[in-house]
Amino acid sequence: MSWRATVLTLFPEMFPGPLGVSLAGRALASGLWVLETRDIRDSATDRHRSVDDTPAGGGPGMVLRADVLAAAIDAAEINRERPRLLMSPRGRPLTQSRVVELAAGPGPLIVCGRFEGIDQRVIGARKLEEVSIGDYVLSGGEIAAMTLIDACVRLLPGVMGKVESGADESFSEGLLEYPQYTRPQDFEGQPIPEVLLSGDHARVAAWRRAEAVALTRERRPDLLTSKNGDQKRPKGPREA
């Protein structure tokens, strides 16, 4: 059975969007994965198809109703083995290790929030796992969902040309990826590092490892400390 992403959204017309081109698009067209979009508004019960209401306790904006969203989740009729995700500004940061887990499974159901958020009760009642893609706020969860799906799809068997393409890159070993070079050999007075032209695979591997460590130490030292167990995993930030 193909890996399946089921997306609950108020804007199904946003999909497949970028997921319909390049690697993900070709894989979608060839049946390596399946994209199912479902309109949350289809589960509304009034003639205006209302899905939101004012926040309890006051405040700006609107909140997605628990009863409508719960009905939309139930209508999707997904298997219990499939993760239920909510793209959320307060979720746990999405990591490559979590992407690998999701790609190895049957595929998630993904809820895309809007407005000021969704009623907390449906998060608990339908066991939604809140996931974040970064420390910033988006207008809704759709773009975040596309990011998560793309990260998973590229790891599915048959999507990328070489297995090594998914194994030898940033975060695969807890490090950022080493610098890459190609022709021309000299670009505006900057040559390709000599070691990469040496043909000595051991030297090349050692150079790449050292560069990856140095780059990670400069830009993401938290990855090194987490890798060595020197600090606890950070709590989920407030982002979308």
- Would you say residue 172 has pLDDT above 80? no
State mean pLDDT over 7-27.
98
Q: Which residues contact 224 (CB under 8 A, 6 or more apart)?
A: 174, 175, 213, 216, 217
Q: What is the reported pLDDT for 162?
A: 64
For residue 168, pLDDT beyond 90? no
pLDDT per position as a tens digit, 184-213: 999 999 999 999 999 999 999 999 999 999
Query: Is the predicted pLDDT of residue 234 greater than 70, yes or no?
Result: no
**How far is residue 227's CA from residue 119's CA, in Å, rounded to a whole number?**
36
**pLDDT, position 155:** 98
Band of the pLDDT at 239, cuts 50, 70, 90? very low
Which letter, b or e, does each residue of 47-57 get, where b requires 16 or more Cβ atoms within 10 Å of its Cβ? eeeebbeeeee
